Each structure stands twice: as C-alpha cells, then as structure tokens.
Amino acid sequence: MSRDLYGILGVSRNATDDDIRRAYKRKAKESHPDLHPNDDAKAEIFKSASSAYEILSDCEKRGQYDRGEIDADGNPKGFGPGQGFGGGFSRGSGGFQGDPFEDILSGMFGGGRRRPGPRKGADMRYRVEISFEDAVTGAKREMTMADGRVLNISIPAGIETGQSLRLKSQGKPSNSSGPPGDAILEIFVRPNKIWTRDGSDIRMTVPVPLRTAVLGGQVDVETPMGPIALKIPDGSNSGATLRLRGKGVQISGKPGHLYARLEVVIEDPKDPKLRDWAKSN
C-alpha cells in the first residue's frame, strides 16, 4: 500500500507550508538519530519524515504528488523498469514499437510522445552538526564533500535542527548530459549547557553572589556573541529576570533578546561573619 506523506507528518492535505515545516521540525526533534542513538524505530521515523518533507516542502513536487503524478518516493507513477503491458514487452523489445513508459508519461503531461532527454543528477544528502553559537549568530564554515571538494558554506543565523540547506549543482553529476544534482545539508544543532533557545530569544541562568545581589554590581556573563558585563540592580533576588536587548538569535532585521534568570548563591556558606549576621536577625 502506498505511503501517505501527509499522514507521515501528521498534517491534513490542505496544510500550509508553515504547517508542514512545523510538523517536520517536531518529528525531527522526536526521532533524530543523534537524540535517540541505537533506536532503529526512531531512525526509520526520521527517515520517513525527511523523505515526506523533501516532497511536500517543494511546491512543484507537492503538486505532482497531489495530482497522482509521482508516488511517495518521488518517482513517476507507471510501470517499473523492464515492465510492459502484461510483462511481455520491455524497452528495446523487437515485438513492440515504442516505449510504453514514455506513452504513459505522454498521456499524463500532454503533447506527443516524450523523447528521452537530459535528466538532472541525483541529490546528495549530508548530515551537518553545528554549534549552538553558529545557529544563533550565523557562520561560514568549510565542508568537505563526498568527492573531496572543499566548499565554503554559509550558515544563516536562526537555523534549527531538522532544517536543511540546499547547495545547487553540488550533488551527483548527470549521466545524460543534464545538470548535476544538489547537495542537501540536514542540520543538527548541538545542545548547549549554558543557553536554551526560545524562538528567536535565548534563556540562561546567571549565578549572582549574595553581596552583589544585595548591594548591586556587575557579573561577567557569557553570551553566544562573547562575554559581557551584566549590571545587577541592588536588592535582586533569585528568580528575577533581566533582558539583554538584541543579544538573542541574530535574525537579520529583527534579532531576539537574551533573558538572564538570576540565581543568588552564597560563596562561602561557612563564613563566620555571615553566620553571625544570620544569628542576629
């Protein structure tokens, strides 16, 4: 039975492009092999979701799939290689004039008989792991392709796990004088111990010495853009959140913010002066 690409992503057939993108991102996070090592079932779900997204995210391919012109693997519907009507004829058979597969395509797309022409080379897929900082700020990195070529890759700020970059004409060469295929880079963003992402914003927890929390001052804070001095208002308490405008994901024209949640810490709980102060109050 043919697979239903919409069912694989869990969306309806009238889903918008954004619905499809969000559904794929959710599936990718739930089943990515890096997040679920040695789980063959999850790996198969991720593979199916990626295959479905490749077709449904492409307007032309989605239209062909909806009209029944291609199957769930992106192949034109019709007879398989070497098959004819009733299995008795094949390409080049002396007992049959013409190619039944070409006749089927001709009927599907209109016009006279289609002649074999240049076909695009196959796409190549690569898994690319990037740092949290690169996903936030964007970066340029070198990547070695399967044939040994080294390319300079631009990573756009704001990219997330499950999204892909397409490099035109960097895939396999055509075997029929057509253009080469594309290289598709499937992105995985490494989790970070300091920061978490919330849309275009970044959140983190900042330890603050008790003295600084009471009297105010500054603490050094690491951000994806580098270290900064964060001003702590006097009388701050654990749970208070400070916003650093424009220090979140560096999306062009509308960067996000960084939200620092304060956590008051006692540097030396056995400090005699601190113990005396606590006893006297």
CATH code at position 177: 2.60.260.20
Residues 104 and 41 placed together within one structural domain of the fold: yes
Separation between Cα atoms, residue 166 and residue 180, nearest integer Å = 13
Q: For the purposes of burial, counting CB atoms within 10 Å of the CB of 53, is it exposed (0-12), middle (13-18) or buried (19 or more)?
A: buried
Query: How confident is the model at residue 38, as a pLDDT?
Result: 81
Residues 167 and 246 placed together within one structural domain of the fold: no
CA count, 13 A, side-chain hemisphere, 69: 14
Residue 47 lies in a domain: yes
Residue 13 lies in a domain: yes
Residues in the chain with pLDDT < 70?
Answer: 1-2, 77-117, 281
Query: How confident is the model at residue 90, as a pLDDT?
Result: 31
Q: Specify the pairing of strand 124-130 against strand 183-189.
A: parallel
Separation between Cα atoms, residue 139 and residue 112, nearest integer Å = 50
Listed in sequence order, the DSSP H helices in 67-217 are 100-109, 132-137, 210-215
DSSP annotation of 85 = G
Residues 94 and 134 placed together within one structural domain of the fold: no
Separation between Cα atoms, residue 122 and residue 120, nearest integer Å = 7
Residue 117 lies in a domain: no
Closest listed residue to residue 165, CA positions, set 202, 138, 133: 138
Place of tokens 């694989």: 8
- Of 60, 79, 109, the residue at which a domain comes to its end is 109
Residues 59 and 129 placed together within one structural domain of the fold: no
Q: Which residues pair with 204 in a beta bridge?
A: 260
Residue 273 lies in a domain: yes
Look up the pTM and report it.
0.57
Residues 21 and 101 placed together within one structural domain of the fold: yes
- Of 74, 109, 144, the residue at which a domain comes to its end is 109
Query: How confident is the model at residue 265, as a pLDDT?
Result: 93
Residues 137 and 183 placed together within one structural domain of the fold: yes
Report in angstroms the alpha-carbon separations of 39 from 24, 203, 209.
19, 30, 44
**For residue range 253-264, what is the model confidence (pLDDT) as tens digits?**
899 999 999 999
**For residue range 54-74, what is the model confidence (pLDDT) as tens digits?**
889 888 889 888 888 888 887
Query: How confident is the model at residue 193, as a pLDDT?
Result: 95
Q: Are 126 and 182 in contact (CB under 8 A)?
A: no
For residue 101, the Cα-to-chain-centroid distance in whole angstroms is 37
Q: Hey, what are 262's tokens?
A: 């304060």
Residue 116 lies in a domain: no
Helix (H) or strand (E) holding 260: strand 258-265
Residue 115 lies in a domain: no
Domain count, the chain: 3
Q: Give the domain range for residue 20.
A: 5-109
CATH code at position 87: 1.10.287.110
Residues 177 and 201 placed together within one structural domain of the fold: no
Residues 234 and 272 placed together within one structural domain of the fold: yes
Residues 102 and 54 placed together within one structural domain of the fold: yes
Residues 98 and 143 placed together within one structural domain of the fold: no
For the chain, the residue count is 281
**For residue range 217-228, what is the model confidence (pLDDT) as tens digits?**
999 999 999 999
Residues 11 and 77 placed together within one structural domain of the fold: yes
Q: Are 65 and 5 in contact (CB under 8 A)?
A: yes
Residues 155 and 81 placed together within one structural domain of the fold: no
